[in-house]
């Protein structure tokens, strides 16, 4: 091993659980991937990652099982189609997500997300942060993803001719979940970048190494954080925003059918299937696809002929939406299959749970995280599972224990309803749901 794993993080590269292997995460600006980029990604997966890629709950792409000697070539291949892993791991502004690709405002939020990606990625002023910094831009409040961002922007209409956003800050999941609080309503587009710059700067100056912005919120309180921001913003005006060609890369989402998507179980996609999806994007969706936070691939064709064509080709590619694996929304992190911190084989367990669940279970949204870091966002699902610890058994081996969370719409996050379950007890608990 010649490369320092700590220094690789800023490039989006982590060591895997399996010694000698690496994971490369790739940012997808605004969740929009072109057919050309998809073909390059498929090529990388085939050459270096066993023909597989993982779609994350933040609409990024991960390649697993890379060797150290592959990393530079993978970075070059990504750069050739305008993609990068820079800042996708480590203390940096992570991939900017648009969590609501099926809402009407998606083309608008996509433009802002891409702008923010270009502004903060590889910008030395916003790297070297105490820990990760997550930004999300949503077209509405559905799914509540604004609550788990360091900065969550929610489209709040048009004010004085420009779009404006409600700004939520200091949210996060992990071991100490903290819902974001509403910093300011209806902030004009020209103030968004100066405001986020101030938030990142305050975070960098006042938060201990290894802690998220939510730590600063707990330490200083809401008013204390507001005061730090006021000081940071003093004298800073809005940015002049020249008019330009600011159209989204995709058409607005379809209304009928409401969703045209390949539902990818646990975010595990093969390279040949991605090639098929790239073909569908080229033929029917203006050359673009949308990666969703539910780990699926959506298409926004021009209506109505494109929608029918895309749906027909998706069904032919095996994405008819009829299989149980496609019907049930189930967000899954890589867990101990690949992740160094994983305590349990999440994909295997998700399949066992699917097999055990009945109609009532199928109607819920599910998520399973392989450790308390909560990358699968289990506290946002109607039914969430976290592998919380390993317990030594009589035979000397160690087996995981799980907490089961349930969430109703009145709560910011789900709460644990069963704790310390063995794998068999977890499956039984899911079977009992019906
Ligand atoms: S939740 Fe834990 S196991 Fe899963 S990807 Fe995140 S860090 Fe890894």
Six token digits for residue 374:
């909560």
- Expressed in angstroms and rounded, the spacing between residue 54 Cα and the centre of ligand 1 is 13
- Read off the pLDDT of residues 403-419 as tens digits, 9 standing for 90 and up: 999 998 788 999 999 99
Residue nearest to atom 5 of ligand 1 (CA): 333
Contact 290, 252 (CB under 8 A): no
Q: What is the pLDDT of residue 18?
A: 93
pTM above 0.75, yes or no: yes
Q: What is the pLDDT of residue 304?
A: 77
> Which of 132, 173, 334 for mutating ligand 1's site (highest number of atoms within 8 Å of CB)?
334
User: Where along the chain do its domains lie?
Assistant: 5-89+264-324, 106-233, 330-432
Number of Cβ atoms within 10 Å of the Cβ of 424: 10
Q: What is the pLDDT of residue 244?
A: 64
Ligand 1 pocket, 266 CB below 6 A?
Answer: no
Ligand 1 pocket, 335 CB below 6 A?
Answer: yes
Q: pLDDT tens for the chain, 434 residues: list them.
A: 577 888 889 999 999 999 999 999 999 999 999 999 999 999 999 999 999 999 999 999 999 999 999 999 999 999 999 999 999 999 999 999 998 999 989 999 999 999 999 999 999 999 999 999 999 999 999 889 999 999 999 999 987 678 999 999 999 999 999 999 999 999 998 899 999 999 999 999 999 999 999 999 999 999 999 999 999 999 888 887 666 666 788 888 887 777 899 999 999 999 999 999 999 999 999 999 999 999 999 999 887 778 889 999 999 999 998 999 999 999 999 999 999 999 999 999 999 999 999 999 999 999 999 999 999 999 999 999 999 999 999 888 999 999 999 998 788 999 999 999 999 999 999 999 87
Question: Cα separation of 95 and 82, whole Å?
Answer: 14
Residue nearest to atom 2 of ligand 1 (CA): 371
Number of Cβ atoms within 10 Å of the Cβ of 129: 22
Ligand 1 pocket, 26 CB below 6 A?
Answer: no
Q: What angle do CA 397, 403, 408 make, to 5 degrees?
A: 165
Q: What is the pLDDT of residue 67?
A: 95
- Expressed in angstroms and rounded, the spacing between residue 335 Cα and the centre of ligand 1 is 5
Ligand 1 pocket, 375 CB below 6 A?
Answer: yes
Query: Would the CATH topology of 5-89+264-324 be identical to that of 330-432?
Result: no
- Read off the pLDDT of residues 247-262 as tens digits, 9 standing for 90 and up: 788 888 887 777 899 9
Q: What is the pLDDT of residue 99?
A: 85
Identify any residues that bridge with 152 across adjacent strands, giving them in sequence order. Answer: 136, 168
**Which atom from ligand 1 is nearest to the alpha carbon of 371?**
2
The CATH fold of domain 5-89+264-324: Sulfite Reductase Hemoprotein; domain 2 (3.90.480)
Across 275-361, the runs of DSSP E, i.e. the strands, are 288-291, 297-298, 330-332
Which DSSP category does 266 fall into?
G
Number of Cβ atoms within 10 Å of the Cβ of 207: 20
Residues 106-233: name the CATH superfamily.
Answer: Sulfite Reductase Hemoprotein, domain 1 (3.30.413.10)
CATH architecture group of domain 330-432? 2-Layer Sandwich (3.30)
User: Quick one: the chain helix, strand, coil %, rounded to 5?
Assistant: 35, 25, 40
Contact 31, 59 (CB under 8 A): yes
> Which of 331, 370, 377, 384 for mutating ligand 1's site (highest number of atoms within 8 Å of CB)?
370
Ligand 1 pocket, 371 CB below 6 A?
Answer: yes
Q: What is the pLDDT of residue 246?
A: 60
Ligand 1 pocket, 370 CB below 6 A?
Answer: yes
Q: What is the pLDDT of residue 303?
A: 73
Q: What is the pLDDT of residue 243?
A: 66
**Which atom from ligand 1 is nearest to the alpha carbon of 376?**
1
Three-state secondary structure call for residue 144? helix
């Amino acid at each position: 091993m010649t490369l320092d794993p700590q220094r690789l993080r800023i490039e989006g590269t982590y060591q895997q659980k399996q010694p000698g292997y690496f994971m490369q995460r790739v940012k997808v600006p605004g969740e929009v991937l072109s057919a050309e980029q998809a073909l390059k990604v498929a090529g990388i997966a085939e050459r270096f990652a066993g023909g597989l890629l993982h779609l994350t709950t933040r609409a990024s792409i991960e390649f697993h099982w890379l060797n150290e000697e592959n990393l530079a070539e993978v970075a070059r291949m990504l750069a050739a189609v305008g993609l990068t892993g820079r800042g996708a791991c480590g203390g940096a502004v992570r991939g900017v997500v648009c969590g609501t690709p099926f809402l009407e405002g998606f083309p608008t939020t996509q433009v802002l997300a891409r702008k923010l990606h270009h502004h903060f990625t590889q910008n030395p002023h916003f790297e070297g942060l105490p820990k990760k910094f997550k930004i999300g831009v949503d077209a509405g409040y559905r799914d509540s993803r604004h609550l788990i961002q360091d900065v969550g922007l929610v489209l709040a209409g048009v004010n004085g001719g420009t779009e404006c956003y409600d700004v939520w800050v200091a949210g996060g999941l992990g071991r100490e979940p903290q819902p974001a609080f509403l910093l300011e309503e209806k902030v004009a587009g020209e103030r968004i970048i100066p405001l986020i710059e101030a938030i990142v700067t305050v975070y960098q100056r006042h938060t201990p190494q290894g802690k998220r912005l939510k730590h600063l919120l707990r330490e200083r309180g809401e008013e204390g954080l507001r005061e730090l921001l006021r000081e940071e913003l003093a004298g800073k005006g809005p940015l002049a925003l020249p008019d330009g060609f600011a159209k989204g890369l995709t058409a607005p989402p379809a209304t009928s059918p409401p969703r045209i998507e390949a539902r990818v179980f646990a975010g595990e996609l093969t390279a040949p299937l991605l090639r098929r999806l790239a073909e569908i994007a080229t033929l029917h969706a203006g050359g673009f696809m949308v990666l969703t936070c539910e780990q699926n691939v959506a298409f926004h064709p021009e209506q109505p002929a494109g929608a029918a064509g895309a749906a027909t080709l998706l069904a032919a590619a095996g994405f008819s939406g009829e299989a149980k694996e496609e019907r049930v929304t189930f967000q899954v992190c890589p867990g101990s299959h690949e992740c160094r911190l994983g305590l349990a084989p999440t994909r295997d367990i998700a399949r066992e749970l699917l097999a055990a669940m009945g109609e009532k279970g199928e109607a819920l949204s599910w998520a399973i995280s392989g450790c308390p870091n909560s990358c699968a966002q289990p506290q946002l699902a109607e039914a969430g599972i976290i592998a919380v610890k390993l317990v030594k058994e009589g035979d000397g081996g160690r087996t995981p224990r799980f907490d089961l969370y349930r969430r109703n719409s009145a709560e910011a996050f789900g709460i644990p309803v069963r704790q310390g379950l063995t794998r068999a007890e977890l499956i039984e608990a899911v079977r009992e749901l019906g």
